Amino acid sequence: MVSSAFKRAFGQAYTQLSNQRDDDFPLLYYSVEAWCSVLNFDYEVKNHIVENTQVAKDEGVTKAFWDEGTGFTNFGLSEPKLKQILKNIVNQLQIGESTQRKIILILAFGFTAVGYLLYLIDNNQQNQTQNTNSVIRDKTESLPPSAPKETNQVLVLVINVSNSAIVARLKEKRKVDADDCKKLYRATEALWLGSKQNLSPKLAQSFSENNDFVVSSNTESEYNIYLIKIELSDADEGFKASAGQLDRIDAFSRLANLSTDIKVSPRLRVEAYENTGVYSR
């Protein structure tokens, strides 16, 4: 039997999942997010769970799992009794109309539980390492502070003026917060990743207030764009032109930890990024 406490928690998670209308991110990704919210996990725990279980990349598991013809056989779940147990759980929950969503949400609970266990193990190991290295750390702190490491990797994003709110937010803070990652992914039309030396002169000049593509107030158009240049601590494979959509989503979710500095261009005509090597999001 499913406990009443689990039913209530499942209902809350299912409500959050039902309210999600963004098709950019896989359903299983949002299911785990919903469980993390219901269980009151903070951002650090939630981020650890998502990254270590690679939830965003495993939606194929749920699709095959649900497949009445072959899914259960492929995953070693061909026994009728086991299949019936899952259906009984779904029937007892009696929430909403989408049985497939219920199955995915139940799977997501498993991902979340395992991810939390891995977080606790990892956190315990980190505490042991910190205790072992305490003497070395004390000696290091007595040394003069080193100069900030100069990065060489640059990410350039092309964003339409219809998303000026996120642009203004980044311009003011000059950093990417965790709450900005999804918004920035949705707002980006095109991007480019590479070293500062390989940055197109045309893109580099577009960040100047005096460049040829700056839009005056009397010539503004809905097609105008902003360029955002983000210096990265490391090149993320998910931002490369060859990356798939799910890898791209993962890369944007890590952007808060990778960004070191941000520069925003003036309002520009679309010609500012034509023939510069940028590629579609």
Q: What was the pLDDT predicted at 168?
A: 92
Q: What was the pLDDT predicted at 67?
A: 46
Question: In the sheet that 153-160 helps form, which strands lie side by side, from edge to edge?
Answer: 259-264, 225-232, 153-160, 188-195, 279-280
Return the domain boundaries, the chain: 4-128, 153-280
Q: What was the pLDDT predicted at 264?
A: 94
Q: What was the pLDDT predicted at 33?
A: 79
Q: Is 230 exposed, middle or buried (0-12, 13-18, 19+ CB in 10 A)?
A: buried
Q: What was the pLDDT predicted at 268?
A: 94
Q: What was the pLDDT predicted at 15?
A: 78
Residue ranges of the chain with per-residue pLDDT less than 50: 24, 55-79, 82, 95-97, 146-150
Q: What was the pLDDT predicted at 64?
A: 46
Residue 72 CB contacts under 8 Å (≥ 6 apart), including other chains = 65, 78, 82, 83
